[in-house]
Amino acid sequence: MGKDRLEGRRIVITGGASGIGLATARLFMAEGARVALLDRNEAALAAATTDIGAPGYCVDVTDEVSAQRALDNAERELGGIDGLVNSAGVSDDFRFDDLTVEQMKTVLDINLVSGFVMSKVVVPALRRNNGGTIVNIASGIGLRPFLPGQIAYATSKGAVIAMTKALAIELSPNVRVNAVCPGLVDTPMTDAWRLAPDDSRLKHYLLGRYAKPGEIADAILFLTSNESSFMTGSSLVIDGGRSLY
């Protein structure tokens, strides 16, 4: 493919300072897009924006007022918005007996509510440009939990999958909404497991390894580009075969 799959597209990426979000930003820019990064980690965001040469906005994307302000700034900077990637997220490892209501609410806020908030503020901008795309980062765990300690995460990501389908119905035909459902990915969020001497999670994966962030970014590119022009409401599973168990 040539360097034109996203030529002229203007994309906002939440959770853009690291991991899947930053890998997606790099790939999108290589394919001709202009991107704006949103993240709550100010230091990581400053490093990422300097590294790739894209504007960035430090923001809590669970807060509608702050998200709207950042979105307005990004729209002015980019000259419009054609797409959104909701990559902001948090993991957890709390078993039911230890999981508090506040911890549950925090995971739901960051993994689910942030995607709703960002979709809410970005859709008017997409409509001003006759439509666009939204890609949500869900998880294979949202389809099928497989270990204890995944209650909050599985619930939040399962809800992201359901929200993706419902948004696809409401925003059709001009805004396409899809999700990706990754398995384990080599990002800072999984360091505690990946760097452990005996990572028992890998025995559940047919490919026996973590995905690279760029492998997930490739799928996000597909769902953002015209190559997926007849897809909406879909959840693309990229989990190294884990869901076959």
Catalytic amino acids? 153
Residues whose CB falls within 8 Å of the CB of residue 69, separated by 6 or more in sequence, listed in order: 59
Question: 241: closest CA among 194, 156, 181?
Answer: 181
Sequence-distant (6+) residues with CB within 8 A of 117 are 61, 62, 63, 64, 67
Per-residue DSSP letter, 113: I
From its phi and psi, is residue 208 left (phi > 0), alpha (psi between -120 and 50) or beta? left
Q: How many Å apart are CA 217 and CA 159, to the nearest integer? A: 21
Tokens of 126: 């997409």
DSSP tag of 210:
P
Q: Which amino acid is at 12?
A: V
Calculated CA dihedral for residues 59, 62, 63, 64, nearest 10 degrees: 110
d(CA 158, CA 223): 19
Q: Which of 21, 35, 5, 23 is nearest to 225 (CA)?
A: 5
